[in-house]
Amino acid sequence: MGQRPQSHALSPSGRERPSGRTTEHVVGQPPGMAVSISFVLSVITLVVFAILTIKVIQVRRAPEDLPLRAVTAGVGCLFLSVFVNLPGVRTALDGVQLGAPKLFVNLITLLGTYFVLAFFFYSIYGQNAIRRMRRERVLLLLTCGVLVTTWFIASPTVREAPADLRNGYDLQARIFLITALAYMTYTLTRSLELVRKYTRAAAGRHVRLGMRIFHASLHLLIAGAFLKIAVLLLQSLGTTVDSPLLQIPNTGYLLLVGIGIAGFALGLGYPLAAGMILEIPVRARHRGLYRQLEPLWLVLHEEFPDLSLTASKTSRWREVLRWQSVHRSYYRRVIEIRDGLVLLAPYYDHEVARQAQTAGAGKGLSGSELESFVQANLIVHALKAKASGSQSRDSDLISLDGGHNLDSDSEWLAGLSGWVQWLTRESTS
């Protein structure tokens, strides 16, 4: 087959505008800058993919959580848009159909704004928002239909870069952009009031601060969309590309959208990041207590293996991605220990307690340290009594003390575990 002839058109600036590759691709970028942009995009893609993986796992655990599903879908849209913009992927898709990455990214962006709206609707109205979001889906499908139709009937130049300033004189490019910008403005404007309601009801200052940043970013994105629409209207009136009337608002549009997208990501990511940072000392504390409880847990688990709470079997990589895995293991260990101590109750001996009280006082122990020493002796003796099948003859059972909540109780049990370990070593030495 012969080569397709190149058609040419004149923009209002008087310059010849060839079809095919646009000026931004012909001129290119310095090699160092291109490599840097590619590296940054690759890092962002990996980070977003990790977040998406965590969200997918969370959705699998709670498929009925509509806000979580909306967030996960939104993160999925973000991942796809970043992934498609990777140089290698974009080049491959352009090889299949010139401009296909641009169309895909625009459609994914619209879908992402839809899921932002869905998240706030589901968070505020719950199941009552399902019918509303059905109507929103109809509008989304109509908008996407207009974009796809316009893109297919447009020239190759417009297909490759519909948002390029020199393409703004093309009717198909204006229809494509105004349709996309109008839908984004609509969804983001509707989200504004919902964000305010969500912020007022949000618990935690980090969430409220993140939502305020997110709310401000929506204003910037909406303002940027209006500026771009104004640019397109000026182009339809014949304003030249080099005119300050066009260059100034177009530059403002790029700045507002860039800052708005950064604020958008910061507002959504800040509460999660802040929460994870603040949780680091809590995780370290729970991990430490989990290890301190091990000696007591081991002796009880050996005697009562059926009390072990079976955790669902998961692969190692999935367990690593589960941020709450440390907490679940810690909670499970405390519960299993408490269950085991209850089952040992028939074997606790008052005489052993009195002897331990005297021995502990002789060692200089007092207060909670003495009480912990006494209870540890009761446990070690009870384990031996159970092994020999001899229950206590006392009619009134001894109840072991502990903390007033889970954390204080786990600290008490950790001290008890240390004494049990020491007594066990002393008895075997």
> What SS3 class is residue 9?
strand
Please state the φ and ψ torsions of residue 125, each to the nearest 5 degrees: -105, -10
pLDDT of residue 36: 66
Asked if 213 and 270 touch (Cβ cutoff 8 Å), the reply is yes
d(CA 107, CA 145): 10
- Cα 265 → chain centroid: 11
Q: Which pLDDT belongs to residue 47?
A: 78
pLDDT of residue 427: 74
In degrees, to the nearest 5, what angle opens at C-alpha 364 toward C-alphas 359 and 369? 85
CA-based nearest residue to 163, from 216, 237, 101: 101
The 3-state DSSP class for residue 3 equals coil
User: How large is the average pLDDT for residues 333-352?
Assistant: 88
pLDDT on residue 397: 59
| pLDDT score, position 267 | 83
278 has a pLDDT exceeding 50: yes
Look at residue 8 and tell me whether its pLDDT is greater than 70.
no
Q: What is the rounded distance in angstroms from the CA atom of residue 9 to the CA atom of residue 11?
A: 7
Q: Is residue 408 over pLDDT 80?
A: yes
**What pLDDT is stored for residue 49 in this prediction?**
85
Q: What is the pLDDT of residues 13-38, one digit of tens each?
A: 444 444 444 434 333 444 454 556 67
The C-alpha atoms of residue 40 and residue 236 are separated, in whole angstroms, by 36
| pLDDT tens, position by position, 365-390 | 888 888 889 888 989 988 888 888 77
Measured CA distances, 396 to 373, 378, 392 (Å): 21, 15, 10
- Which string of b and e fits 277-314 if b means at least 16 CB within 10 Å? eeeeeebeebeebbebbebbbebbbeebeebeeeeeee
Quick check: 112 pLDDT over 50? yes
Q: What is the mean pLDDT of the chain?
A: 83
Give the model's pLDDT for residue 5. Answer: 38
Amino acid, single-letter form, for residue 417: S
pLDDT band at 274 (very low <50, low <70, confident <90, very high): confident
Q: Quick check: 66 pLDDT over 90?
A: yes
Q: Give the pTM.
A: 0.69
Say what the pLDDT of residue 154 is. 93
Q: Which residues contact 328 (CB under 8 A, 6 or more apart)?
A: 311
The reported pLDDT for the residue numbered 324 is 55
CA 386 to chain centre: 49
